[in-house]
Amino acid sequence: MERIQRLFKGDRTLLSTTTLLLVTAIVFLATFILGITSFGFALVAVPLLNLIFPLQLLVPVLIIYGVFIIGLVLLPIYKHLDLKGMQYLVGAGILGVPLGTYLLLILDESILKIGIGIIIIVSAWALYTGYHVNIKNEKLGNSVAGFTSGLLNGSLTMSGPPVILFYSNQNLEKQVFRANLAFYFTLTNIITLPVLYWGGLITPQVLQYSAAIVPTIPVGIVGVLLGSKLGTKMDGAFFHRLSLILIFLMGVMSIISA
């Protein structure tokens, strides 16, 4: 499928009807997965929307969108938040974002996608087959996961894998897992926005595209609500297996879309 080169007609800032319908369908699928697990939005949205939008445009658009939509996931489960170690996760994540943004500007996106995809696949498979790392220093573990997550958020909006793999390794309870992820992703997206602006990636065109997909928000809300309802009822062990399968697929999709 070739990337659509002309999404605007004349000076208008609206997407064509066909393109908007396609984007809406992708958003629904992505937000449904997000509602179940508190992650996976980028897993679906980035490779599919990258067929329509160039990555340097797509990254800031999705981060702007994610501030609202992931915050919505957090609302019904915020009482399960466990903030122990969160300051190290977030602090290191902030430090990683500028490097990720810099890599996005200087490296070929295919190199980023393939390298990251391989690391994700190996890590997810190891955890799925029962391998666990005994992390005695949780401050260090949170810091490493946070920094790597920030780096990926600034480059590919794929901040999820490092934190999800870390939480899976630590066997967090399902609702704590979901609440912590939603809180972390909402916060890091908010923090990432000014970094992208300073890096010159928040352009008038980005704001136009962001405004153009506003009509997809109601569908995104429905996707989140339906997914959240299913995620709350899901068995904990099955939830963790599903999370690792999605992470594995995230790695595969990253390589395929390179």
Q: Is residue 187 part of a domain?
A: yes
pTM of the model: 0.77
Residue count of the chain: 258
- Distance between CA atoms of residues 153 and 149, nearest Å: 6
161: Cβ–Cβ under 8 A, 6 or more apart, which residues?
A: 116, 120, 123, 124, 149, 152, 247, 250, 251
Q: Is residue 120 part of a domain?
A: yes
Q: Is residue 3 part of a domain?
A: no
Among the listed residues 200, 123, 208, 195, the one whose alpha carbon sits nearest the alpha carbon of residue 166:
123
Residue 201, classed as helix, strand or coil, is coil
Q: Is residue 4 part of a domain?
A: no
Q: Is residue 40 part of a domain?
A: yes
Q: What is the tally of structural domains in the chain?
A: 1
Q: pLDDT digit string (tens) for 20-39?
A: 899 999 999 999 999 998 88
182: Cβ–Cβ under 8 A, 6 or more apart, which residues?
A: 38, 70, 71, 73, 74, 77
Q: Is residue 28 part of a domain?
A: yes
Q: pLDDT digit string (tens) for 91-127?
A: 898 888 888 888 888 888 788 888 888 888 988 898 8
Q: pLDDT digit string (tens) for 188-214?
A: 778 778 877 887 888 888 888 888 888
Element (H, E) at 218: helix 217-233
Give the position of tokens 């000076």. Answer: 11
Contact 239, 163 (CB under 8 A): no
User: pLDDT-based confidence at 225, cuts 50/70/90?
Assistant: very high
Domain of residue 88, residue span: 17-256
